[in-house]
Amino acid sequence: MRKLEKLIEELYEERHQQQLDTVVPVIADEGMGKSTLILQLAVKYCMVRDGEPPSIQHLLDRICYNREDFKEMMAESDKQALIIVPDAARLLYSMDVATSEQKQIEKDLMDVRGLEYMILLGFQSWRRIGGEIKERRAKMALRIPRRGLVRVYGRESMDHRIDEGSWPSSTMTDKFPSLDGTELWQEYKRIDQQKKRDRIAAGTESADDEPTTAQEIATDIRENGGAEEYLNEINNGAQIVLDRHSIAAEYDIGKEKSKQVKKLLKADVDIEEVL
């Protein structure tokens, strides 16, 4: 991931050394390597900032799992601090449906621009990213179409995605390795799984106002970025498919309903044109 490492170096020089921060949405379906990439970007940022690799504990301490963690880090962190939010949709859901508290947190991002933070945000899809982030605060977005491959989109490309509803050619493409078997990944997964169990036990999951029928889900997808958001590359990029598994993961639905949604959306996507 030499290109990405070079990008982090350039960001530090051009933004963090000039009293600016960096907000980076990393977009990928569940299991595609979103957290893996975020952790590697975090390591590289710390190395550029400090001149040495961070400890595993330092990285894990910079991860936010709820709104309270995020607000506290934004308010109390030192300049040039690293802030990691692997599941940012839970904190910063799309402004169209966000609660007032979620909206306020997203607006608070505007107030910390001069603190030179590096803020890495993980989202499962473009539609989950709120307006303040994708329209103003983020100057780039990283999208993982398949494991190990990342496409980088600059501000102009993000504006194209907003205006036209489709991704243009990426500004940069790079590969990133797996962290499987490393101590960092083992510790991260252990804590992440515990946090998820705690969240379920606390009953903080809520499906209120979420679309439930296949037709409602298809309509929601069309109104929030379109079916192209669920196109994935397979066979090392040789084919592009409308992936019902991504739809199922995004909306927490079963096999049959995801098939129905895919059927409803199929006419919206010209695969040959995308290829």
User: Of the ranges 131-135, 171-175, 205-209, which is most confident?
Assistant: 171-175
124 or 105: which leads in pLDDT: 124
Select the highest-mean-pLDDT range: 168-177, 193-202, 240-249: 168-177
Q: Is the model's pLDDT at 40 over the cut of 90?
A: yes
Identify the pLDDT of residue 274: 40
**Whole-number Cα distances in Å, 109 to 8, 24, 136:** 20, 12, 11
Residue 261 maps to a domain = yes
Query: With bands split at pLDDT 50, 70 and 90, how would you rate the model's confidence at 220?
Result: confident
Confidence of residue 56 (pLDDT cuts 50, 70, 90): very high
Q: Indicate the range of 4-13, 48-57, 215-224 predicted with least confidence.
A: 215-224
163 with 235, same domain: the answer is no
Q: What is the pTM of this model?
A: 0.76
**What is the SS3 assignment for the chain?**
CHHHHHHHHHHHHHCHHHCCCEEEEEECCCCCCHHHHHHHHHHHHHHHHHCCCCCHHHHHHCECCCHHHHHHHHHHCCCCCEEEECCHHHCCCCCCCCCHHHHHHHHHHHHHHHHCCEEEEEECCHHHCCHHHHHHHCCEEEEEEECCEEEEEEHHHHHHHHHHCCCCCCCEEEECCCCCCCHHHHHHHHHHHHHHHHHHHHCCCCCCCCCCCHHHHHHHHHHCCCHHHHEEEECCCCEEEECHHHHHHHHCCCHHHHHHHHHHHHHHCCHHHHC
206, part of any domain: no
Residue 154 included in any domain: yes
pLDDT band at 102 (very low <50, low <70, confident <90, very high): low
Mean pLDDT, residues 207-219: 72
C-alpha–C-alpha distance, residues 264 and 214, integer Å: 8
- 97 pLDDT above the threshold of 70: no
Decide if pLDDT at 58 tops 50: yes
Residue 209 within any structural domain of the chain: no
Give the pLDDT band of residue 52 (cuts 50, 70, 90): very high
26-30, 66-70, 140-144, 235-239: which has the highest mean pLDDT?
140-144
Q: Are residues 243 and 164 in the same domain?
A: no
Looking at the fold, whether 119 and 88 belong to one and the same domain comes out as: yes
Residue 6 has pLDDT above 60, yes or no: yes
Domain, as residue range, for 140: 2-198
- 270 pLDDT above the threshold of 70: no
Check whether residue 163 and residue 223 sit in a common domain.
Answer: no
pLDDT tens digits, one per residue of 234-254 = 777 677 888 888 888 777 688
How many independent structural domains does the chain possess?
Answer: 2
Q: What is residue 275's predicted lDDT score, i.e. its pLDDT?
A: 38
Looking at the fold, whether 247 and 134 belong to one and the same domain comes out as: no
Lowest mean pLDDT among 26-40, 42-56, 110-124: 110-124
Residue 148 pLDDT exceeds 90? yes
Domain boundary among 198, 229, 248: 198
CATH of the domain at 183: 3.40.50.300
Q: Clarify whether residues 183 and 219 are in a common domain.
A: no
Residue at 228 is within a domain = yes
> How many other β-carbons are positioned within 10 Å of the β-carbon of residue 80?
17
